[in-house]
Structure formats: structure tokens, C-alpha cells
Structure 1
Amino acid sequence: MGSPGKKAYPLRIDPALWAELQRLAANDLRSVNAEIEFLLREALARRGIKVQPAPPGGDED
């Protein structure tokens, strides 16, 4: 079951990239999903885009 307020999206990903994401996530004590979200926010921030987290309690489509 997904987290409330989070958009579910199926992602096809290269197995080698997945393995690196798992390694990074374990090092950072995060789930792979949380690591991907962290890396996406970091990449957007480098481009000058700051994304605010969704308010709790509402689903996004």
C-alpha cells in the first residue's frame, strides 16, 4: 500500500542502476523509494527548482 499523499508511478529501471540505488539507500538508511525521491529533489535543486512536499492527508493524481 502506498503512502497517503504520494503519487504511485511504475518505473522501469536498469538492474545495475537499481543495485547502486539499493547500495546508496542502505548507506543513507533510507528505502530505495525515499532515496530516489531524495536524488530527484537534489537534481531539481541544482537546476534552481525547489519542490515543496505535499501537505499531509491529500492524495495527488
Structure 2
Amino acid sequence: MAERKPFLLRIDRAVLDGLQRWAGDDLRSLNAQIEFVLRRALEQAGRLKPGRGGLGGPEGPPSSKSERGFTPRERKTGEAEPPGPRR
């Protein structure tokens, strides 16, 4: 298992609230959700190879998608997750 380092994060309250709601919808802890979002952004930017860098741990892989590619929220509502903001 990859080493996990504690890290203090100062974050805007609205961003934190949004992350907490998203984490709850996807049945993840807030920490796992933050790591999921950061990992996905790094992969999309080409700064982290897909499937590398500390997968696993007490909360399992950072993605809660099933083999068919649906999050728990998508299975419950039948709606796809909206794409995240582009920068």
C-alpha cells in the first residue's frame, strides 16, 4: 500500500459544502472524495498515469463506480453525473 501523508487544507466553505454533498451522493468519505477529484484532475492533465499512485487503503479505490460505470447516485436517480467545471 502506498504511503499516505496527512495534509492540512484550507478551503472555501462553498467548495467544502459541495464536496461533502458529492461525497455523500457517491458513498465516499470527504477525504476519499477530495483524493478522487484531485487524482482525476491529475490524470486528465497528464500529470499522473491512470491507475497509479496510491490506490486502495482503508476506503478502497477512489472510484465508487461499478464495473458498468455507474455511481450509486446514478443508479438511484437514473441520471448521469454532470461533468465537473472546466478550467
- Answer yes or no: is the 8 Å Cα contact 2:3–2:54 preserved in 1: no
Count of residue correspondences: 53
- State the match for 2:36 in structure 1: 38
The answer for the alignment partner of 1:10 in structure 2 is 8
The one-letter code matched in structure 2 to 1:7 is K
Runs of 4+ in 1 over 4 A off after TM superposition: none
Larger relative helix fraction? 1
Q: Which has the higher contact order (CA 8 A, sep 6+)?
A: 1
Residue ranges of structure 1 left out of the alignment (5+ in a row):
57-61
Please, what is the CA RMSD of the aligned residues? Answer: 2.3
> What is the letter of the counterpart of residue 27 of structure 1?
D
**3-state DSSP class of the match of 1:45?**
helix
TM-score by length of 1: 0.75
